[in-house]
Amino acid sequence: MRNLFFSSLLACVVLWSALVQGHAAEFVWTGGSSGTGDSWRQANNWNPSSSQGGPGTGDVAIFGSNGSAVSIGINFNDGRGLTNAVAAIVLTNGPDRTVSNRSPNSTGTLQLGGWQGVLLANRSAASVLTLQNGASSVMRIDLTTGGDIHVGAAAAGVVLGGPVFGHHGFVKTGAGWLRLTHSNSLAGTVVVSGGVLELASVTGHSLGSAAGVRLESGASAVLVAAQQLGAGVAIELAGGTLRGAGGASVVAETAGTLTLSASSTIDSGASAIRFADSSAVTWDASATLTITNWRGAAGGGLFFGTGGLTSTQLAQIYFADLGVHGAQLVGPDGELTPIPEAPVTAAAAALLAFIVWRERRRLGQWWRRSPAPRGGVPGPTNDTNHSADG
């Protein structure tokens, strides 16, 4: 009976939380105040205006076409602070908007608690929503729960320019792009179900503490700079594309194991990506891993260590630029390279088949005319130049 009571109480709490989250107060930006001060919590910058001064705990901040100020500052250390999570920040249309920490020389934390499963959303056609540090102060971005970062249009984007942390990861949805430009301590799994995730921290480690990254069909992750991942970050290719860095200079990258759960692509580019030994990881037997823009170790390359892939896994790899099916691991670092014999063997087989087809009638006639072999010693040949009596 006691367990039933607590179960019912827990169910009520969950239902109440869902109802509260589903009916969060929505504040629409109308402000003309400049971003030099605490414009976020000036009550007259929002509709509706409120005594708390803008979106607070559990509220949704919405930016559209109204309001001339595009840089919105938050002062986190003035005693009024945003000490609890805002539900979500949404950009619907209008110009680019930037939210930053305007605390004087003090770190502030912007907490995002999620609203109807969404942490951040950009629903504009081509605008950019940016959360970033201030000129002299850091703004940490705390994802207090899991949820979506949604960027609907391909030309639209979201930039997370401050350190991001949280234990739940997030899901990148929509056709647009999301850029991480800071070293982060984000745990959990990051799923890219659409669009592009750009890993662009100049100091690396944009997802170095995540448990894993899953790239789904039509989605991609780009290693813009070096060492964005880490040896503990498992990569799952579920129909998506992992892209290496651009340019001519080789940059180093480290990742965990590689799982292939649907046909996917690695565009190796200028990144020298060193995966963990993945020979014990189960790959979908019907899936193909396509390698594009392969330049070999001199231009980047892919490495799994000696024995880091099984012969079955190696047979599932296709080098699209060379038209070669099948791979091998060579050298002490287990560099992934195409099987060198594959194109030679295929060409020889094709040439032989062509010759046989072209000469099929002549070969058939020769075969029919060939005398059957006889046993014994052949008899003497006739000599027409001598008489029988010598």
Question: What would the pLDDT profile of 85-133 be if each residue is shown by its tens digit?
Answer: 899 999 999 999 999 998 888 899 999 999 999 999 999 999 999 999 9
Which range of residues forms the domain containing residue 350?
188-364
Q: Which residues pair with 216 in a beta bridge?
A: 238, 239
Q: What is the pTM of this model?
A: 0.82
pLDDT computed for residue 43 by the predictor: 84
Domain closes at, from 141, 156, 171: 156
φ/ψ (deg, to 5) at 106: -145, 135
Domain closes at, from 156, 176, 205: 156
8 Å CB contact between 228 and 199: yes
8 Å CB contact between 270 and 302: no
Note whether 217 and 111 are same-domain residues.
no
In a 3-state reduction of DSSP, which class is residue 150? strand
Between the CA of residue 287 and those of 218, 233, 312, 316, 336, what are the distances in Å?
15, 22, 11, 7, 18
Tell me the mean pLDDT in the region 193-213.
98
Note whether 68 and 192 are same-domain residues.
no
Domain closes at, from 111, 133, 156: 156
Note whether 79 and 226 are same-domain residues.
no
Task: Answer whether residue 344 is part of any domain.
Answer: yes
pLDDT computed for residue 63 by the predictor: 97
What is the number of structural domains in the chain? 2
DSSP structural state of residue 34:
-
Q: What is the pLDDT of residues 49-77, one digit of tens each?
A: 866 677 888 999 999 999 999 999 998 87
Write 16-23 long-range contacts (CB < 8 A, 24+).
Answer: 20/58, 21/58, 21/87, 21/113, 21/114, 21/115, 21/116, 22/116
Task: Answer whether residue 169 is part of any domain.
Answer: no
Note whether 31 and 148 are same-domain residues.
yes
Note whether 81 and 32 are same-domain residues.
yes
Note whether 128 and 200 are same-domain residues.
no
Count the neighbouring beta carbons within 10 Å of the beta carbon of residue 344: 10
Angle (nearest 5°) at CA 268 between 264 and 273? 105
Task: Answer whether residue 302 is part of any domain.
Answer: yes
Q: What is the pLDDT of residues 333-348, one digit of tens each?
A: 999 999 986 444 544 4
At 368, the amino acid letter reads R
At 252, the amino acid letter reads A
At 345, the amino acid letter reads T
8 Å CB contact between 156 and 125: yes
pLDDT computed for residue 21 by the predictor: 43
Q: Name the pLDDT band for 7 (thresholds 50, 70, 90).
A: very low
Task: Answer whether residue 18 is part of any domain.
Answer: no
Task: Answer whether residue 207 is part of any domain.
Answer: yes
pLDDT computed for residue 18 by the predictor: 38
Among 261-275, 325-339, 376-390, the range scoring the smallest mean pLDDT is 376-390
Note whether 205 and 277 are same-domain residues.
yes
8 Å CB contact between 26 and 50: no
pLDDT computed for residue 368 by the predictor: 59
Q: What is the pLDDT of residues 27-52, one digit of tens each?
A: 999 987 665 578 888 888 999 986 66
Note whether 142 and 209 are same-domain residues.
no
8 Å CB contact between 35 and 72: yes
Note whether 88 and 234 are same-domain residues.
no
Does residue 186 register a pLDDT over 90?
yes
8 Å CB contact between 184 and 197: no
8 Å CB contact between 256 and 282: no
Note whether 220 and 320 are same-domain residues.
yes
Task: Answer whether residue 181 is part of any domain.
Answer: no
Note whether 197 and 317 are same-domain residues.
yes
Task: Answer whether residue 289 is part of any domain.
Answer: yes
